[in-house]
Each structure stands twice: as C-alpha cells, then as structure tokens.
Chains A and B, each alone.
Chain A
Amino acid sequence: MQAVQVQHYIERATDFSRGMKLMSDDDDHVNSSALLAIHSAISYSDALRAGLGDARLSSDDHKNAADTLQGLLNSNRYKEQQGLRHFKLLLSKKSRVAYSDHPLSLTERKDLITAALRFEVWVNQVGKHLNLEGWTHDDQ
C-alpha cells in the first residue's frame, strides 16, 4: 500500500515537473511554470514522506512541509539534507506566485525552476539511498 502511495505522488510530481519544463522558456506562462515548479516539489516531498511512513499528507497548509520532512529525515539519521533549502525557497514563494499583485519576473521564475530541478534530483537520491518501497520504477 505504501509503495502505491509513493508511486502516486511521484507520478504527480513528475507530471508537474514535465509541465514546468514545457513552459520554462515561454514568457506567456511565467506564473504557470513557476507554480508547477512549487507543486512538483510539494508532490515529491509527499512521496518522500509517504515512503518514510508519514500518514498526514494532502494538506493545503504546506508551510510546515519542509520542517516535517526534516524531522522525518532526522528520525532516519539521514544527514545529507542540502536539498531542503531548495524546498524551503519554493514553499516561501508559493503565495507570491499564486496570489501576489506584483508580477513575477523572468529571473524569479528561472530561480524557482532551478530550485525545483535540484530538489527533484536530491529527493530521488534520498529515496534511493533509503531504499524506500516503490521509489524505483522497476517492474514488479
């Protein structure tokens, strides 16, 4: 069951990530691609949390998601936590991207996409190192 949940969140995360990439050079979709960058990271975090046994997912309040993830990594004595800074940056910009009355600049969008891609790489490394059930795409 846990593996199914992990794969569900990974599929959602990669779906958002691919959408982000498709629009990443398109100046008519600055906010859309930035928001997909943030949601891709949130879904990847959910996948990791599900894999680490956290049942409290699917909340609209993502403010504490990075702290919760950090707590789970600490519980598992996982020290390579450099990816969390990308996640924290992305979460801190969620309201700005989705609701602010100030337009998002191309540079801000680029920074968010870079953070999302780096977070994605790090998350996949964590999932693999911790050997989380359902993390790899090998056929059963």
Chain B
Amino acid sequence: MTTNEQRQLGRAKNAILAFFERRISVPKIYIDAVWDGHPIDVLAIDRDGVGDVHVVLLLARDYYSEAVLEPGKYDQLVEEVIDRLLSIQAQYKYLAVVDISNNQNCPPFRFSERVIDKAFAQDGIGKIGLLQIDISPNIIISPNEEIQVRLEIKPERFRAKIAKLADDYIQQHEADWEIRA
C-alpha cells in the first residue's frame, strides 16, 4: 500500500466514524479493530456496547491500479470482500469502496447487480450495506467540508449471537470514540 493510499484510507475511516456517530445512538467506535479474529477497518457497537455490532471493511479504488484497469477484476475484489464480510459475526455489515483515483478520466464506480445480489445472507436474513466514499481529486472538497459517506445500499440486520463477544471486546479495548455518562 502506498503512503497516499494509506492516508486516504485513514481519512475514509474517520469519515465512517462520523457517519456512525450520527446514525447510531451512543456507539463505541473502534478503528483498525480485530473482531473475533478478523481485522476490521471500523467497528461500532451501539448503545454504549450493549447494542448491535456494526463492522465495516474498506476497499480502495485507484484508477492506476491493475485491478481497476483490467475489466471485471475490481468487481472480483469487491466480491472477495463481501465473502469475508459474510463470514464475520455481526448484526450489521458494510463494504465501503473508497475512490482515491488521481485521474479525471476514471469513470465513477457503480456496484454491479451481481455484487448487490451477493450482498444477501444465504438465508435472506441480513444484507451487507454498500457505502461509497469519494476522495479523489475529481471531487472538490473545501477545506472545512467533511468527506461524504454515501449509503448506496442500505444494510439489513443479520442474525448473530455475539453479546458475550461484545462484552469481552469492550472490556479489553479502549474505544476511539464514545460518549461518557
């Protein structure tokens, strides 16, 4: 990973933190977490640690990368991340595509029908949310403007018996963002 990609993904993680801070009640939010053995870019546990668990995996999209230049290759990467998400225990799961392309000719990313279909749990109970974050130079962001997280496909709740896992996690880790009583 290049320094630029690392920096842009860091900004995207912060943007997702702000997204959760606004959308869920009083979450504890962790950046670069390891949840049940899986590396997670952003983890949020609602209601001060007793509510639903939300996990986010990021996938950078750079116009110059081989994956973006070769047709179908990037969708394959997206599907691999979806497979990883499906194997993680959480009530809400999200894939965030982070566009860091430094090229104005790069066409905007769209989630394919195949990817959207794959985002469902096999039994239909649960659907991965699909997010897009554009921090490429094509998007003009004023210095005081926040990076926007677009919810392209709304998630649906998965089944997960993970209260004990969440209890242990919040005991052992300090949150990167939380509200104190």
Contacts and interface: CB of A to CB of B under 8 A. Distances in A.
Contact of B181 (A22, A122, A127, A137): A122
Interface residues of A, number: 23
Chain B binding surface SS class: loop
A76 B166 CA distance: 25
Contact of A136 (B22, B26, B163, B181): B163
A136 B50 contact: yes
B22 A21 contact: yes
B97 to A, nearest CB: 25
Nearest to B22: A21
Interface string B38-74: 0000000011111110000000000000000000000
A118 B180 contact: yes
Interface string B145-181: 0000000000000011111000000000000001111
B162 A138 contact: yes
B91 A137 contact: yes
B91 A120 contact: no
A125 interface: yes
Contact of B163 (A21, A22, A121, A137): A137
A31 interface: no
A127 B26 CA distance: 14
Contacts of B25: 14, 17-18, 21, 120
Given A127-B50, A139-B159, A121 B22 contact: no
A62 interface: no
Nearest to A18: B25
Contacts of A124: 26, 47-51
Interface in A89-140: 117-122, 124-125, 127-128, 135-139
Contacts of B26: 17, 117, 120-121, 124
Nearest to A15: B25
A16 to B, nearest CB: 10
A82 B181 contact: yes
A125 B179 CA distance: 12
B24 interface: yes
Interface string B115-140: 00000000000000000000000000
B24 A137 contact: no
Interface in B1-43: 22-26
Of B22, B23, B50, B178, most buried by chain A (CB within 10 Å of CB) is B50
Given A124-B26, A124-B51, 20 more contacts: A14-B25, A14-B46, A14-B47, A14-B51, A17-B25, A18-B25, A21-B22, A22-B22, A117-B179, A118-B179, A119-B181, A122-B181, A124-B50, A125-B181, A135-B50, A136-B51, A137-B51, A138-B160, A138-B161, A138-B163
Top 6 closest A-B pairs, CB basis? A138-B163, A122-B181, A124-B48, A121-B181, A17-B25, A121-B48
